[in-house]
A and B are shown apart, each in its own frame.
Chain A
Amino acid sequence: MMSCAVAVRDLRVERGRRQVLHGVSFEVPRGSVLGLIGPSGCGKTTLMRAVVGVQTVAGGTVTVLGEPAGGPGLRTKVGYSTQSPAVYDDLTVTENLAYFAAVLGAPKTDVARVVAEVGLEDAAGQTARTLSGGQKSRASLAVALLGAPELLVLDEPTVGLDPVLRNELWGLFHRLAAGRGVTLMVSSHVMDEASRCDRLLLMREGEILADDSPGTLRDRTGAADLEAAFLRLIADREAVSDR
């Protein structure tokens, strides 16, 4: 299915002898922005790692851009930004980006482009160790934007950022999706970000509770906002499992 950027079927993952994903299935259409929402520890990072192909899986299939996740053909097509910033502390932002650009075979001009995209021009010459928390996580995000990825998997890319910067980054995400047809999977804890996604995957304890557009979710639950909608969905599920 080439219309589908990511297709996950019955994905099961065990971490530390405990099953943390219990048969998850969903699809992400190309060029859309999928939000991944759910309580801490519900398995968002695990799911993203499986899509990138760095997570050992116990069962099920994960197909990315028509190939099994993590396949050699995907390594320049999938950009991944981990939850905790993954950059070399003793290199400057520019040196970090130049190295990852070389590994990806991306043009050297990409370095300046991604620095501007995440708004780090003023800190580009600073070693990563000396960056503030938000600057460092933007440096890590910038690495994922190098080259021309067709799928971006971003694990809490806007955590610790102010509303202005968050707004700018979400503008960038939508420009990438609308302009270049990039598919994005973005996890978040912030509800106003969730409302900016085309589709939302609400997870709880390794299962998917809901997979809908933000509007549909609000209508279905009859809640005033997304936060209330999620609380209601989670409460409903708990009532079912208690019975």
Chain B
Amino acid sequence: MSSAQITLATAKRILTQLRHDHRTVALMVLVPTLVMILLYYVIGDQGSFDAWTPVLLCVFPFLVMFLVTSIATLRERTTGTLERLMASPLGKLDLLLGYGLAFGLMAVVQVALVLSVSLTWLGFGLGAPLWPLVVVALCNALLGTALGLLCSAFARTEFQAVQFMPVVMIPQLLLGGILVPRDQMAPVLEWISNVLPMSYAIEAMKLAAAAGAEGDFWRDVAVVAGSAVLALVLGAATLRRRTP
């Protein structure tokens, strides 16, 4: 069995697990769309809604993927299936890429639904091509998957895994230029903001919504994708064939 076949078998297995768990699938796919609809009616003003939409398109795929992945991999550690896999020919990267692939596919469905609803029913005024938005949303979902994998290595219980979400999310949201523009922050905060991948994701999404793949767009996307790859590699390093 080649590594690629094992990766595909792993992705298929994870999707089969999801198929048995309708509620999780519904939450993954519907929650971002429902929040978007809620936001539309709360804001009640098309201009502000158009400004918030790119931000939510960034935050939600990331958030959901982060949570689902960290809990799924933690379960794999605690139920002994990981120990079983570590004694098998499966490579560490096979497992991580399998998760990335399966949840990446879920992210496509999630983003497709939230974008269709926003663009039609909610009248999201997009003055640029659609694909750059999709690219950013997917890179960001993959980043969420990769960071979820990494963080699950530091959690012993599902309760702890859930606690990682605010630890990872809140600084990135506060410093990502959503509430206060990044160039108006104190220098230290701006510096920290510069090393948080979400800042680049949000910037890329705003660029994509305003003008498409222009300006710093590709640099920002590269930073987000690079961070996802880095997190995957670090995640692989935390998987040990031998444990104490």
With contact pairs A88-B13, A90-B20, A99-B13 given, residues A70 and B87 touching in the complex (Cβ less than 8 Å): yes
| Interface 0/1 of B16-59, CB less than 8 Å to A | 11001100000000000000000000000000000000000000
Complex Cα spacing A53 to B15, Å: 30
Complex Cα spacing A57 to B244, Å: 8
B20/A91 in contact, CB under 8 A: yes
Q: Which of B12, B21, B83 has the most CB of A within 10 A?
A: B83
Binding stretch for chain B, among A100-108, A114-122, A218-226: A100-108
With contact pairs A56-B243, A76-B89, A91-B13 given, residues A86 and B6 touching in the complex (Cβ less than 8 Å): no
- A14 — which chain B residues lie within 8 A by C-beta? 244
Q: Does B9 contact A (CB under 8 A)?
A: yes
A82/B83 in contact, CB under 8 A: yes
- B83 — which chain A residues lie within 8 A by C-beta? 54, 82, 86
Instruction: Give A55's nearest chain B residue, CB to CB.
Output: B242
With contact pairs A70-B242, A88-B13, A91-B17 given, residues A82 and B5 touching in the complex (Cβ less than 8 Å): no
Report the number of A-B residue pairs with Cβ-Cβ less than 8 Å: 84
- A86 — which chain B residues lie within 8 A by C-beta? 79-81, 83-84
B16/A103 in contact, CB under 8 A: no
B1/A89 in contact, CB under 8 A: no
Complex Cα spacing A237 to B63, Å: 59
B6/A102 in contact, CB under 8 A: yes
B241/A103 in contact, CB under 8 A: no
- A87 — which chain B residues lie within 8 A by C-beta? 79, 81
- Which residues 66-123 in B have Cβ within 8 Å of A in the complex? 79-81, 83-90
A54/B87 in contact, CB under 8 A: yes
- B17 — which chain A residues lie within 8 A by C-beta? 88, 90-91
Complex Cα spacing A150 to B69, Å: 35
B87/A84 in contact, CB under 8 A: no
- B16 — which chain A residues lie within 8 A by C-beta? 91, 95, 99
Q: Does A15 contact B (CB under 8 A)?
A: yes
One of A15, A54, A80, A88 near B242 (C-beta < 8 A): A54
Count chain B residues whose beta carbon lies closer than 8 angstroms to a beta carbon of A.
Answer: 26
What secondary structure prevails in chain A residues at the interface with B?
Answer: loop
B9/A103 in contact, CB under 8 A: yes
Complex Cα spacing A191 to B216, Å: 72
B9/A99 in contact, CB under 8 A: yes
- A72 — which chain B residues lie within 8 A by C-beta? 89
B242/A102 in contact, CB under 8 A: no
Size category of the binding interface on chain A: 20 to 34
| Interface 0/1 of A59-99, CB less than 8 Å to B | 00000000000101001101010101111111100010001
Instruction: Give A146's nearest chain B residue, CB to CB.
Output: B88
One of B79, B84, B86 near A100 (C-beta < 8 A): B84
| Interface 0/1 of A110-154, CB less than 8 Å to B | 000000000000000001000000000000000100000000000
B48 to chain A, nearest CB (A): 41
Complex Cα spacing A104 to B6, Å: 9
B59 to chain A, nearest CB (A): 28
A103/B79 in contact, CB under 8 A: no
B88/A104 in contact, CB under 8 A: yes
Q: Does A16 contact B (CB under 8 A)?
A: yes
B76 to chain A, nearest CB (A): 8
One of B1, B12, B241 near A70 (C-beta < 8 A): B241
Q: Does A52 contact B (CB under 8 A)?
A: yes
Q: Given known contacts A14-B244, A72-B89, A75-B87, what 15 new A-B pairs fall within 8 Å (CB)?
A: A54-B241, A70-B87, A76-B89, A82-B83, A84-B80, A86-B80, A88-B79, A90-B21, A99-B9, A99-B16, A100-B84, A100-B88, A102-B5, A103-B88, A105-B1
A-B contacts, 29 of them at CB < 8 A, read A15-B244, A54-B83, A54-B87, A54-B241, A55-B243, A55-B244, A56-B242, A56-B243, A70-B87, A70-B242, A76-B88, A76-B89, A82-B80, A86-B79, A86-B81, A86-B83, A88-B17, A88-B79, A89-B79, A90-B17, A90-B20, A91-B13, A91-B16, A99-B13, A102-B1, A103-B85, A104-B88, A105-B1, A143-B84
- Residue numbers of A with Cβ under 8 A of B are 14-16, 52-57, 70, 72, 75-76, 78, 80, 82, 84-91, 95, 99-100, 102-105, 127, 143
Q: Which 4 A-B pairs have the closest CB atoms?
A: A86-B80, A105-B1, A102-B9, A99-B13
- Residue numbers of B with Cβ under 8 A of A are 1, 5-6, 9-10, 12-13, 16-17, 20-21, 79-81, 83-90, 241-244
